[in-house]
Amino acid sequence: EVQLVESGGGLVQPGRSLRLSCAASGFTFDDYAMHWVRQAPGKGLEWVSGISWNSGSTGYADSVKGRFTISRDNAKNSLYLQMNSLRAEDTALYYCAKDIGEGFGELSADYWGQGTLVTVSS
Amino acid sequence: QSVLTQPPSVSAAPGQKVTISCSGSSSNIGNNYVSWYQQLPGTAPKLLIYDNNKRPSGIPDRFSGSKSGTSATLGITGLQTGDEADYYCGTWDSSLSAGGVFGGGTKLTVL
């Protein structure tokens, strides 16, 4: 059974940093691209970042470019999102999602975690 | 303002059919595959359709997808009360700011 479990969310002050983690199991992690998708309270889905199976390609939404960094450790079956210079508008539930393919340049997420809540407030 | 445009809401009676549209441009829907997601209240999104019209294992054939030019459509037949949810389209955008994009979401009400 595929499982994606996010962790690392919490309450953080504006300008501070937070690192999210996603532990994957039930599939061959290094065969697939991965994404981070967020959802602000009462709002729609927003793609945040994606990474190819071998970390060779990464991408970011304009809203987080230069502040967030995605990475993965295939040996640990884990996905990460380093979030720096956090803003109030980054407040959201952050989902880790598995893509159906290995490459970078598509968005078809067939498995999602339950999300970890990030609240940016003073 | 989402890159992909969906109607905010649609409604239909149980047993009826409904379609949800998703409009984009040549840099996204026009040149990339479209996926559709169902989000029931308080839960994570679930993939319904990928590669424009393919259903993952376990998704009933009441759900269908199509694409024409820079627009895509999700169809749901035999509506059930359990289909009440938010539905999102998603695709890749190959513009200078390449990345994933979603529609703003459509709330389906089964009357």
The chain A residues in contact with chain B (CB within 8 A) are 35, 37, 44-47, 49-50, 59-62, 95, 97, 100, 105-115
Q: Are B19 and B12 in contact (CB under 8 A)?
A: no
Instruction: Name residues whose C-beta falls within 8 Å of residue A90's C-beta, 6 or more positions apart in sequence.
Output: A38, A64, A83, A118, A120
Give B43 to chain A, closest Cα distance, Å: 7
Amino acid (1-letter code) at residue B34: V
Per-residue DSSP letter, A30: G
Query: What pLDDT, in 10s, does the model give residues A90-103?
Result: 999 999 999 998 88
Average pLDDT, chain A: 96
Measured CA to CA, the distance from residue A94 to residue A113 in angstroms comes to 9
The pLDDT value given to residue A104: 81
Amino acid (1-letter code) at residue B6: Q
Phi and psi at residue A75, to the nearest 5°: -70, -25
Per-residue pLDDT at B97 exceeds 90: no
